[in-house]
Structure 1
Amino acid sequence: MDIEILTQFFMWCTIINVALLVLSFFVVAYGFGSEFVYRTHSKWFPMPRDTFNAAIYLLIGIYKIFVFVFNVVPWIALTIIG
Structure 2
Amino acid sequence: MDINTIRQALLLSTLINMGILIFWALLFIFARDVIYRLHTRWFAISSDRFDAIHYCAMAFYKIAILLLNFTPWLALTIIGP
Same fold, TM exceeding 0.5?
A: yes
Deviating beyond 4 angstroms after TM superposition, the runs of 4 or more aligned structure 1 residues are none
- Partner of 2:14 in structure 1? 14
TM-score, structure 2 as length reference: 0.93
In the alignment, what sits opposite 1:80?
Answer: 78
Q: Give 1:22 deviation, angstroms.
A: 1.1
Shift in Å at residue 44 of structure 1? 1.0
- Structure 2 regions of 5+ residues with no counterpart? none
Instruction: Tell me the number of residue pairs that the alignment of Structure 1 and Structure 2 aligns.
Output: 80
- Aligned runs of 1:57-76 on 2, under 5 Å? 57-76=55-74
- Name 1:51's counterpart in structure 2: 49
SS of structure 1 residue aligned to 2:25: helix
Give the structure-1-normalised TM-score: 0.92
Q: Choose the corresponding residue for 1:36, options 12, 34, 37.
A: 34
| Alpha-carbon separation, structure 1, partners of 2:4 and 2:72 | 13
